[in-house]
Amino acid sequence: AGTMMAAVLCRAVLGAPAGFLPLLPRGLSLSAPRETVIVERWWKVPLSKKGREPRIKHPRFRVFRLVEDLKHQPKEPLELILTEPVEDVGNRGETIFVHRSFGRNHLLFRNRAVYASPENKKIFEEENRLREVGKLPRLQSHSGMKTVRFLKNCTLEIGVNECDQWELTKEIVCRHFLRNLGVVVPPQALTLPEEPITQLGSYWCDITVSSPLRLPAS
């Protein structure tokens, strides 16, 4: 019944005047094809005489064989330019090649990337040039972002010996960073409070990765 209804509808559409679209029965819809399939005739059509139509009315000339199904071909990755740092993907201004669904649903839809058009490439090339000459602040590297994300969730605990006088210095803090957290912090990248730390308590220390980061220490 469904095949007969489709055939009747096709005849109605073909025989209708231009601009006329019949009402569709419930459960039946028309949509434009979104994929391409390449076929060729199984039987070669013989050449017709000059001025005559090709002799293709025989049923065997309506038999086709599949040459290529473009629907199942691997699609080219999407070329995008990031507009902000994206974890495990890249930094702002980087050109990336990602799967189409990920690029459209997670990057373009959220305004985290733009298409790598010639105009957009020129804009980000100029931005990178200004960063190199120092007119714009440098961006944090991908490893720097991961380091900052790790340190933000850490609290450094330092034990001291029972004695009358002691002072927490940069060297002691850097040594405990390596021992407790496995992070190498150079003394020049560490900033302690201006007042000497000589009593037990909770304090803040600033670590410079690419930009200053404040970390609690106790």
Looking at the structure, do residues 130 and 104 belong to the same domain, yes or no?
yes
14 domain-assigned: no
pLDDT confidence of residue 181 = 86
Looking at the structure, do residues 125 and 146 belong to the same domain, yes or no?
no
Could you list the pLDDT tens digit for every one of the 218 residues in the chain? 444 444 443 444 444 444 444 454 444 444 445 678 888 888 888 888 888 887 778 888 888 888 888 777 777 899 999 998 888 888 889 999 999 999 999 999 999 999 999 999 999 999 989 888 888 877 777 777 778 788 888 888 888 777 667 888 888 888 888 888 888 888 888 888 888 888 888 888 888 876 555 555 55
Residue 65: give the domain boundaries. Answer: 36-44+56-138
How many helices (DSSP H) and strands (DSSP E) are in the chain?
5, 8
> Of the candidates 84, 105, 138, which is a domain's last residue?
138
pTM value?
Answer: 0.49
> Of the candidates 104, 123, 138, which is a domain's last residue?
138
Looking at the structure, do residues 133 and 152 belong to the same domain, yes or no?
no
Residues 6+ apart with CB under 8 A from 58: none
Looking at the structure, do residues 157 and 125 belong to the same domain, yes or no?
no
pLDDT confidence of residue 213 = 54
> Of the candidates 83, 109, 138, which is a domain's last residue?
138
- Identify the CA nearest to 158 among candidates 137, 141, 173, 138: 173
Looking at the structure, do residues 40 and 103 belong to the same domain, yes or no?
yes
- Identify the CA nearest to 103 among candidates 126, 121, 118, 86: 86
114 domain-assigned: yes
User: How far is residue 33's CA from residue 135's CA, in Å, rounded to a whole number?
Assistant: 51
29 domain-assigned: no
Question: Which residues are 187's β-sheet partners?
Answer: none
Q: How many structural domains does the chain have?
A: 2
Looking at the structure, do residues 40 and 130 belong to the same domain, yes or no?
yes
- Identify the CA nearest to 150 among candidates 132, 177, 189: 177
Strand 78-82, strand 113-115: pairing = antiparallel
pLDDT confidence of residue 73 = 76
